[in-house]
């Protein structure tokens, strides 16, 4: 189980996937053969006693880090999507206003073209009327 958790780890804020996998592998060796958890070379001997409490703390702590990482990143993603939605909403409103202005200008231009003088058409085309 520990090796599986290590193999399928994902990068956290301060820990790479490889570092997490190594840590889970270290704990798996401790459970299987009683290998010491410490990196200290002097403590490479095995022991019949397993430190189940420390293992539970390690797994629990790691899961809490994962939960915090995922929760924070999901919230960041929600914030980005919300901001994107707001920006797109404003862009659509501006486009609608621009479309309305263009439509109004075309209606005026059509009216002037049908009924107005050349000077009126010229002013409408230049946007002065």
Q: What is the pLDDT of residues 14-70, one digit of tens each?
A: 999 999 999 999 999 999 999 988 766 555 566 779 999 999 999 999 999 999 999
CB 83 within 8 A of CB 69: no
pTM of the model: 0.65
Compute the distance between CA of residue 102 and CA of residue 96 in angstroms, rounded to an integer.
10
């Amino acid at each position: 189980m520990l090796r599986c958790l290590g193999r399928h780890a994902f990068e956290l804020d301060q820990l790479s996937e490889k570092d997490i996998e190594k840590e889970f592998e270290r704990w798996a060796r401790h459970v299987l053969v009683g290998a010491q958890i410490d990196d200290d070379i002097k403590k490479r001997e095995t022991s019949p006693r397993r430190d189940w409490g420390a293992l539970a703390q390690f797994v629990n702590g790691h899961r809490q880090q994962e939960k915090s990482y995922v929760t924070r990143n999901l919230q960041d993603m929600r914030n980005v999507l919300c901001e994107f939605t707001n920006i797109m909403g404003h862009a659509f409103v501006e486009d609608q206003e621009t479309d309305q202005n263009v439509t109004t200008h075309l209606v005026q231009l059509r009216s002037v073209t049908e009924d107005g003088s050349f000077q009126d058409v010229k002013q409408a085309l230049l946007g002065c009327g």
